[in-house]
Amino acid sequence: MDREGILFVVSAPSGAGKTSLCRDVLGQDAGLRFSISHTTRPPRGEEKDGKDYFFIDEATFKEKCDRGDFIEWAKVHGQYYGTAEEGLRKWIAEGIDVLLDIDTQGALILKERFEGAVYIYILPPSFDVLKQRLIGRGSDSKEEIARRLQKAHDEIREYHQYHYLIINKEYEAAKQTLYAVILAERARIGQANLKWVEDRFIHRFEDA
């Protein structure tokens, strides 16, 4: 059945496991594409340009902002992040479902500019668990962890702006819940091509 693609917007405070959940769900569904954001921050670990992010310098990022290339952009933890509009809308128009992993600030901007997206928020089981996960990564200073926790506190206040809330207590269960949301949204009546249904069933019965 021909239809427009669905945009799934996933947000979470730093340390909630959002990136891993999105990556594993993408690996589970060949019909789901990942919208690669642009960022001015340097790559971490094994991140690769064009796969995890498009890594660009601040001057280039601001040029893209001035041209209106981004449907949303935000400054998060001192670095810029943005979602290119042209490619995103092209995929949606072609009927491709897209998974977009962005922070809360960017998601709320996007919500004002893009109709019909599905917003999913991911949380750890408690704020203490979130703190321990950030400490356990071993990649941030105490000052950076404190800054991320304050940012998380501010962001979590916006959880009610989302359509779904997933608690990442048991990773496998959280992953399956995220995928279940995607499957359920694809099956909504609002996503169906009603002419397809009528031509193949309603009119077929009338002509029988």
Look at the block and give the residue holding tokens 């909630």. 16
Contact 118, 5 (CB under 8 A): no
Residue 191 has pLDDT above 90, yes or no: no
Q: Of 3, 194, 189, whose CA–CA distance to 202 is shortest? A: 194
Share of residues in the chain with pLDDT > 70 (%): 97
Ranges of H-type helices in the chain: 18-28, 58-67, 85-93, 104-113, 127-137, 142-156, 171-186, 194-197, 203-207
Structure tokens at 122: 């991911």
Residues 6+ apart with CB under 8 A from 85: 68, 69, 70, 71
Strand partners, 121: 11, 165
Q: Which DSSP category does 146 fall into?
A: H
Cα distance from N-terminal residue to C-terminal residue, the chain: 22
Q: For 73-104, write each residue's pLDDT tens digit.
A: 999 888 999 999 999 999 999 999 999 999 99
How far is Cα 97 from Cα 88, in angstroms, rounded to an integer? 10
Q: What is the CA radius of gyration of the chain?
A: 19
Contact 122, 17 (CB under 8 A): yes
The structural domains of the chain, with segments of one domain joined by +, span 7-35+97-207
pLDDT at position 207: 63
Q: For 6-62, write each residue's pLDDT tens digit.
A: 999 999 998 899 999 999 999 999 999 999 999 999 998 889 999 999 999 999 999
Structure tokens at 28: 């589970």
Query: Which has more pLDDT, 206 or 102?
Result: 102
| Assigned CATH for 7-35+97-207 | 3.40.50.300
How far is Cα 50 from Cα 54, in angstroms, rounded to an integer? 5
